[in-house]
Amino acid sequence: MRLNHLFFSLFCCFASCKGGSNDTTTIITPPPAGDLPTDVTFWLTKADKTVLLTKQKVSLLFKDTVNVFPTIKVDEGSQYQSIDGFGYCLTDGSATLINKLPSATQDALLKELFGTDSTSIGVSYLRVSIGASDLSATPYTYDDIPAGQTDVNLDHFSIGQQQSDLMQVLKRIVAIAPKIKILGSPWSAPVWMKDNGSFVGGSLKPEYYATYAQYFVKYIQAMKAEGIVIDAITPQNEPLHGGNNPSMVMQATEQATFIKTALGPAFKSAGITTKIICYDHNADRPDYPAAVLQDADAKQYVDGSAFHLYGGSIGNLGQLHDAFPDKNVYFTEQWVGAPGDFASNLQWHITNLIIGATRNWSRNVLEWNLASDPSYNPHTDGGCSTCMGALTISSDVTRNVAYYIIAHAAKFVKPGSIRIATNVTSQLDNVAFKTPDGKRVLIVINNAGTTQSFNIQFNGKVVTPTLTNGAVGTYIW
């Protein structure tokens, strides 16, 4: 055992665990009393859950020391994209479960999630469904009418079905974090606009393109009237997956046509500045957003492209950015499948999303559902039945692996932070940022099979921390 590792073992603040392989009821541990002199603050999560997002009582002082350890060089002279935030998808089901908590518990939980003080994790970005997602109790849209009828003027449009839970929780969140960015994505258009008349699958009929564009306009205006600003929308969640409930297929050529002939002009005419982000599906089909962006008439209305990683390589995000450097890249969804395994999920998500997506130009990283119950409800008939929330909510609140995945970035990398250059060495995958207040944040995961000591080099000096295998460290100076 290395001396540094022994030092950590003696002085780390260990957190308690409860439940299965992914579950823990631990919340953020307050910084330990009597901190040692240090240039670098270090927060740690271990793969075995013995330490969970805990500030370490350790002295990391920059020195001129030369040693044999691998070195991560942090260079703020090379800067890349600005960061919009890190967070979750606030599904209808998540909101229902949160809203069932006692008021005081709910207030404390939302402050922990969305506050910015030392006891909070600072979630700064949310995705919500426009109408139902598959993690709503039932499928619905904002304009559901009897079969055989149409509503071209959208006279029956209403967001009322989301008033009782989603809107109430959103309003409490916005009161805590008024600058939070919110992305809206539909799982389906109203079924009377679709060629199969069903919530599942089917495509938007071209004769309803203009009507559906006004549906988005009305949504953004209705949310604004409730005090909720929608920063961006995608025209369709997972447009190449028609088997979910609800879902809708929208091919790339259809999306480009919808954007350039209907959605973009409708936003412009209504004075709406909400961003339009295309695609919103897996990284294995970068040709889809490329096709939209190659259409000059559509491209003028599009801010960027959104990705999930249920297929493909995270590096495809960087390749799309290189092809269209004037357009942004976003990462908008990734689930944790139940029951899962804490160590492997922590490693995969930190490596591919927190580090991989941002190293490939993504301005955000969103995990999937914020909350589920112990049976992974609620969900629609045919919707995801094994989606583990970042929180499990029953009579109490359990924090799962996605909570710590996002917290290791959101708590320290504030919106407006800029990614800066680092190298990857010795399976120490990492990414670094410069925050708006001038601090540097380095997130490192040890993907080697053994404990590693390593150097963080900045301005010619080094500090030498140690990480056990599978552990994640966030370093701030």
Please name which of 46, 36, 50, 218 lies closest in space to residue 141, comparing C-alpha atoms: 218
Calculate ∠ Cα 356-240-310, nearest 5°: 30
What whole-number distance in Å separates Cα of residue 455 and Cα of residue 463?
Answer: 6
Please name which of 150, 164, 180, 262 lies closest in space to residue 217, comparing C-alpha atoms: 262
Confirm whether 226 is a catalytic residue: no
Sign of CA dihedral 72, 73, 76, 82: negative
Work out the angle between the directed axes of helices 103-114 and 168-176 (0-180°, nearest 10): 50
| 376, 392 Cβ separation under 8 angstroms | no
Which 3 state secondary structure label does DSSP give 43? strand
* Cα torsion through 334, 472, 9, 60, rounded to 10: -150
> Which of 112, 238, 254, 367 is an active site residue?
238
Which residues, listed in sequence order, are joined to residue 398 by a DSSP beta bridge? Answer: 392
Reported as type and span, the H/E element at residue 366 is strand 362-369
CB atoms within 10 A of CB 253: 13
Pairing of strands 440-446, 428-434: antiparallel
Count, residues in the chain = 477
Under DSSP, the state recorded for 362 is E
CB atoms within 10 A of CB 209: 18
Residue 449 half-sphere exposure, CB side, CA atoms within 13 Å?
A: 0
Token pair 């995945």: residue:
405
| 413, 362 Cβ separation under 8 angstroms | no
Calculate ∠ Cα 170-175-176, nearest 5°: 100
Pairing of strands 181-186, 232-233: parallel
SS3 content of the chain, % helix, strand, coil (to 5): 30, 25, 45
Read out DSSP for 57-100? ------B----SS-EEEEEEEEEEEEP-EEEEE--HHHHHHHHT
What whole-number distance in Å separates Cα of residue 413 and Cα of residue 411?
Answer: 6
Q: In a 10 Å sphere around its CB, with 0-12 CB exposed, 13-18 middle and 19+ buried, how is residue 300 labelled?
A: exposed
> Which of 76, 112, 226, 333 is an active site residue?
333
Point out the residues that are catalytic: 238, 333
